[in-house]
Amino acid sequence: MSNKAKLLTAGCGITFSGERPTWTKVLKVAGYDITDVSGPAISNQLITNQLLEKIYQEDFDHVICQLTSFGKLDVEMNSKNKWLMEKDSLRNFTYKGYWPSSHSDEDPVKKTYQDYLYSPTLEQQDLIFKLLLLQEKCKQAGTKLHIIQGYDIEWHNKLTDSLDFDKSFNIYDMYKNSKFYDEHDYTNYNTVPNQKFQVHLAKHIAKKYIGEYKSTLDKFNE
Any idea what the CATH number is for the domain that residue 60 is in?
Answer: 3.40.50.1110
Instruction: Evaluate whether residue 107 is within a structural domain.
Output: no
Cα–Cα distance, 2 to 204 (Å, whole number): 24
How long a stretch of residues is the chain? 222
Phi, psi for 216 (deg, rounded to 5): -65, -20
Q: How many domains does the chain have?
A: 1
Instruction: Evaluate whether residue 108 is within a structural domain.
Output: no
Instruction: Evaluate whether residue 143 is within a structural domain.
Output: yes
Instruction: Evaluate whether residue 25 is within a structural domain.
Output: yes
pLDDT of residue 107: 65
Mean pLDDT calculated for residue range 21-31 = 95
Q: Residue 214 above 90 pLDDT?
A: yes
Instruction: Evaluate whether residue 106 is within a structural domain.
Output: no
Residue 77's pLDDT band, with cuts at 50, 70 and 90, is low
pLDDT of residue 105: 60
pLDDT of residue 81: 66
pLDDT digits (tens, 9 = 90+) for 141-173: 999 999 999 999 999 999 999 999 999 999 999
Percent of the chain topping pLDDT 90: 66
Q: By three-state DSSP, how is residue 67 classified?
A: strand
Q: By three-state DSSP, how is residue 65 classified?
A: strand
pTM given for the model: 0.89
| 211 or 189, higher pLDDT | 211
Instruction: Evaluate whether residue 112 is within a structural domain.
Output: no
Residue 222's pLDDT band, with cuts at 50, 70 and 90, is confident
Instruction: Evaluate whether residue 100 is within a structural domain.
Output: no
Instruction: Evaluate whether residue 30 is within a structural domain.
Output: yes
Residue 141 belongs to domain spanning: 6-71+118-219
Residue 19's pLDDT band, with cuts at 50, 70 and 90, is confident
Residues 6+ apart with CB under 8 A from 74: 42, 43, 45, 46, 90, 91, 92
Amino acid sitting at position 114: Q
pLDDT of residue 115: 83
